[in-house]
Amino acid sequence: MSSAYGIIPKPVSNISLDTILPISKTLRNGTKATLQQVDPNNQALVSVLRHLVNYEINMGSTYPQEHELDEEGFTSYFLAYDSFVLVKDDPIVPGKEYDMHDKVLGCFYVKPNYPGRCSHIANGGFFVSTVHRGFGAGIAMGESFPQIASALGYQASVFNLVFQNNEASIKIWRRLGFKEAGRIPKAGRLENSPGKLVDAIIFYKDFTEQNEETDVDK
């Protein structure tokens, strides 16, 4: 994927994701969930994931993009590196038909935040299904993110733009031990804050530090 730094190679990893995936989760409402890697050849799944991403973009309050992503743009943005989906019940099986709008709980990508000498620092983007919000899908994915990113060869993570009025995301990252590394004043003009520019918090987590236990509702 092209960025301000050009094309960024991923770090080298000696761990196969097959050794940790799929990951089983239980949401707050008792729903059984499974985290698995996105199959980019599953067009029904990819279509639903693009819908989720474009919904957030159109809402204009959590991501900086102003225009929907077409198929090529979505592939470049979300699928170019490593992407994962949280689904209800058992993993998606190739060739089997599903109601993907009901099956998909959320999704996220993992990619380098910086190039070259700093490519050990990851970035992630998270999206929760519009019909499955409020049940803990976001925190279930957030819990798995350090394990997934570490397996991919990253040693830390930076979230560049968590807008200060995105209370749900801020609550998740604080509960999961991410540190507030800085703040970008007047970072975004958002639909939920008309007439003003909104600050953004930069969240950081070092995956090499021993994880502290947190009291997290599943």
Q: Do the Cβ atoms of 169 and 208 come closer than 8 Å?
A: no
- Give the pTM: 0.92
Domain annotation covers residue 145: yes
For residue 139, the enclosing domain spans 17-157
Domain annotation covers residue 77: yes
Residue 49 sits in a domain whose CATH number is 3.40.630.30
Q: What is the pLDDT of residues 102-120, one digit of tens each?
A: 999 999 999 999 999 999 9
Band (pLDDT 50/70/90 cuts) for residue 4 is low
Domain annotation covers residue 179: no
Domains in the chain, number: 1
Percent of the chain with pLDDT over 70: 94
What span, in angstroms and rounded, lies between the C-alpha atoms of 65 and 126? 14
What span, in angstroms and rounded, lies between the C-alpha atoms of 19 and 150? 13
Q: Do the Cβ atoms of 157 and 207 come closer than 8 Å?
A: yes
Q: Which of 104, 103, 207 is CA-nearest to residue 158? A: 207
Q: Which of 108, 49, 99, 42 is CA-nearest to residue 73? A: 49
Domain annotation covers residue 125: yes
Domain annotation covers residue 9: no
Domain annotation covers residue 209: no
For residue 3 the two structure tokens come to 């960025």
pLDDT, averaged across the chain: 93
pLDDT of 8 reads 85
Domain annotation covers residue 188: no
pLDDT of 1 reads 45
For the segment 22-30, the average pLDDT, to the nearest whole number, is 96
pLDDT of 14 reads 86
Q: What is the pLDDT of residues 158-209, one digit of tens each?
A: 999 999 999 999 999 999 999 999 999 999 999 999 999 999 999 999 999 8
